[in-house]
Structure 1
Amino acid sequence: MAATPPPSPDTQPPTAPTTAELIERLAGSFGLYYGDFTLAAATAGLTASQAKALSVLRGSPAPMRALATTLACDASNITGIVDRLEKRELVRREPGATDRRVKNVVLTELGEQTIDTVRARMHSTLSGLDTLDDTERTALYALLGRVFPRGTDGSESTR
């Protein structure tokens, strides 16, 4: 009797996947996404952390402390990241509206163009998303919003 070939990663299991199986799929997917993002960032002369900072700032300006929290790094590390981005004129620091001691990091037009270029160079991710039809894209968008309800700007996503 011939052995049954293992299921393709694109096929759904006969029963609903367990939470552990979903976590494994997410971990693998995020790993591939992060590798694609890191490679695309490097082609723009950025580290992954610098590109991630630009992505976060795409939503709206952020205080240095909030940016450090979002990127899960020490405040001294975010200072170095922002210093290097500012030197390349990808971001600028502005005093806070209500507290001039607070420095908000603002994405410049060049920074916006740069993160657009990084995302456009994410060939593996883009080609994978291009295989989805409109119904699948809509479903994926809704599911990601439910699984990860907080947007990069800290706001609740719509459900």
Structure 2
Amino acid sequence: MATSHQPPRPDALTMEVVELIGEVVARYHADYEEAAAGHALTGAQAKLLGLLSLEPLPMRKLANRLKCEPSNVTGIVDRLEARGLVERRPDPADRRVKLAAATEEGRRVAKGLRESLRFAREPLAGLAEEERVVLRGLLQRMLSTGEAEA
């Protein structure tokens, strides 16, 4: 008789933590969409602008990070470029590749967007510094464990 090795069923505490993480994610997304709308951006435009405010990226890498098709990224970049928030430039390492990069105005808007995220900021401010350090470490550990399994 063959036995299948299925992972153990999650206990009640694990399920409660999963539900709480889900609620945090849902609230963060709602706050992010509201912040984006306050800057006349869609959520996808805001996420792309946020990525580009950190570093210029090729379209394919943007598509991978946003988990969408490169053709979708092209349309988003086109709309942000029309508003003067993003520009296309040749990749210095490979001139055949175009990089999308935030303009100075794009970086200013991205910074304003991050600063307007109330849900992400206010509850964390209510935690003591050592609690935030512990939470950061736990989240980093969860994410690195998830990457190792993927």
Question: What's the TM-score, normalizing by structure 1?
Answer: 0.77
- Does 1:63 find its partner at 2:66? no
Partner of 2:97: 102
| Structure in which a larger fraction of residues adopt helix | 2
Unaligned 5+ runs, structure 1: 1-14, 151-159
The code of the aligned residue for 1:128 comes to: P
Match of 1:123 in 2: 118
1:120 Cα deviation from its structure 2 partner: 1.7
Residue 78 of structure 2 is matched in structure 1 by: 83
Question: How large is the RMSD of aligned CA atoms in angstroms?
Answer: 1.9
Cα distance in 1 for partners of 2:27, 2:141 equals 21
Shift of the 67–35 alpha-carbon distance from structure 1 to 2, 3 Å rule, reads same
Over 3 Å counting, the alpha-carbon distance change for 1:88 and 1:126 in structure 2 is same
The one-character-per-residue Cα deviations of 1:120-141 (angstroms, maximum 9, x if unpaired) are: 2222322111111111111122
State whether structure 2 residue 28 is matched by structure 1 residue 33.
yes
Query: How many Å separate the matches in 1 of 2:142 and 2:104?
Result: 31
Residue 42 of structure 2 corresponds to residue 50 of structure 1: no
Match for residue 13 of structure 2 among 17, 31, 40:
17
1:42-84 CA-to-partner distances (Å, cap 9, x unmatched) read 0000000000011222332111100011001111110010011
The letter for the 2-side match of 1:54 is L
Q: Which runs of 4+ in 1 moved over 4 A?
A: none
State the identity as a percent: 41
In 2, the alpha carbon distance for the partners of 1:104 and 1:23 equals: 37
Query: Given the alignment of the two structures, is residue 136 of structure 1 paired with residue 109 of structure 2, yes or no?
Result: no
SS at match of 1:148: helix
Q: TM-score, normalised by structure 2?
A: 0.81
Aligned length: 135
Residues 1:114 and 2:114 are matched in the alignment: no
